[in-house]
Structure 1
Amino acid sequence: MITKVFSISITAIIVLISGQSLGQKAIDKFGDWTAFYDGSGKKRSCYIASLPQKQSGKYKSRGATGITVTHRMQQNTKNIIEIRAGYTYRKDSEVEIKIDGKPFLFFTNSDSAWAYDKEDSKIVRSMVRGKSMVVTGFSSRGTKTVDTYSLLGFTQAHRSIGKSCGLK
């Protein structure tokens, strides 16, 4: 039964967070986070993903939501955070992220929010120490949404992708 639930949750994350390659392979599930890798050698990418535990807002319909933290060896990047809203963000808006109450701002582009340059690793350090993360954004129609993510398992999942991608 646990294996079936694990497979279903991995499949849900893969389908719902469509920004990643379809060739990815699961490393493992850690609490509320699942770790993946794709490719090999310098072309390897590793990422972790999670779905919100709670969603609120007065919206009529909403697409898939989720968060990923990615290392891409070919581009020499690590800790790239992306939040998928399930709708198009309001033009030129920012998304507020609170990790255990500590605020961070992300810029938006279409249906995704990204940390500003050089902020990703700082935010990841807060996620490692944190228990929960609240994401507040506004749709192009002005609808406010609040998504709450658990950070249970984040540290182990993050370490696993660092190891899989050969990072220290």
Structure 2
Amino acid sequence: MFVRRSVTALAIILASSGLANAQSPTRIEQFKAWGAYSYKAGNSTVCYVLSVPTAKEPASVNHGDIFFVVSQRPGQNISYEPQAMMGYPMKGDSKVKVTIDSKSFVMFVKESSAWVENAAEEPALVAAMKGGTNMTVEATSARGTATNYTYSLSGISAALQKIQNCK
């Protein structure tokens, strides 16, 4: 099930990044709640860590496949870029709120994905993930449904360390 979801996530990542000629992902290793993956895109390698929520609210709606990804793309000079990926389109003018302990981060929305609004805060979000236990992600669907996801951060540090030297 987790492998199927990670392949689905990769397809979404490839579609959103325009890398149609990329190869299928290779799972490097699983670190508790987080998996480390890589794939070739042209002449470069993309590495990422991925997890699925441990809880989804409200329970009465179909959320689709939900992921949180942190990618490393040395060929594009991108290091540890967090991304929330929803299984549905989000409200266009909404924001996604990520909370770890007492720290909150705002993400901007584009269709079914969200990225840190202020790219300078990406390292702080990743550092908070490494030091935290749980992370919540709040989003609003295009239909106006408020959603909330809880992720375990168990294994995130080891997974990020594994992709640190992605080449």
Quickly name the TM-score band, shorter chain normalised: 0.7 to 0.9
Partner of 2:137: 135
Contact 1:42 1:73 survives alignment (8 Å) = no
| RMSD of aligned alpha carbons | 1.9
Map of 1:65 onto structure 2: 66
Q: Shift of residue 122 of structure 1?
A: 1.2
Closer/same/farther in 2, CA of residues 41 and 15 from structure 1, 3 Å limit: closer
Could you tell me how far apart the structure 2 residues matched to 1:68 and 1:56 are?
Answer: 20
What's the counterpart of residue 111 of structure 2?
Answer: 110
Q: Deviations over 1:9-54 (max 9, x none)?
A: 2333222453145521111000100001112896111100000000
Equivalent position amino acid for 1:91 in 2: G
Contact 1:131–1:151, Cα closer than 8 Å, also in 2: yes
* 1:58-97 alignment runs, 5 A limit: 60-97=61-98
Partner Cα separation in structure 2 for residue 27 and residue 158 of structure 1:
11
AA paired with 1:11?
R
Report the Cα offset of residue 89 of structure 1. Answer: 1.0
Question: C-alpha separation between the residues in 2 aligned to 1:141 and 1:19?
Answer: 23
Per mean C-alpha deviation after superposition, the further-off stretch among 128-137 and 50-59 is 50-59
Segments of 4+ in structure 1 off by > 4 A?
A: none
Alpha-carbon spacing, 1:110–1:40, altered in 2? closer, same or farther (3 Å)? closer
Answer with 60-69 or 90-99: which moved more. 60-69
Q: Using a 3 Å threshold, how does the CA distance of structure 1 residues 100 and 9 change in structure 2: closer, same or farther? A: same
1:14 aligns with 2:16: no
C-alpha separation between the residues in 1 aligned to 2:23 and 2:146? 31
5+ long unaligned stretches in structure 2: 15-21
TM-score by length of 1: 0.86
Percent identical pairs in the alignment equals 29
1:39 counterpart residue number: 40
Partner secondary structure for residue 52 of structure 1: coil
Give the count of matched residue pairs.
Answer: 158
Name the SS for the 2:144 alignment partner.
Answer: coil
Gap change, CA 1:59 and 1:144, over 3 Å in 2: farther
For the Cα contact (< 8 Å) 2:68–2:83, is it kept in 1?
yes
What is the TM-score of this pair, normalised by structure 2? 0.86
The alpha carbon displacement at 1:60 in A equals 3.7
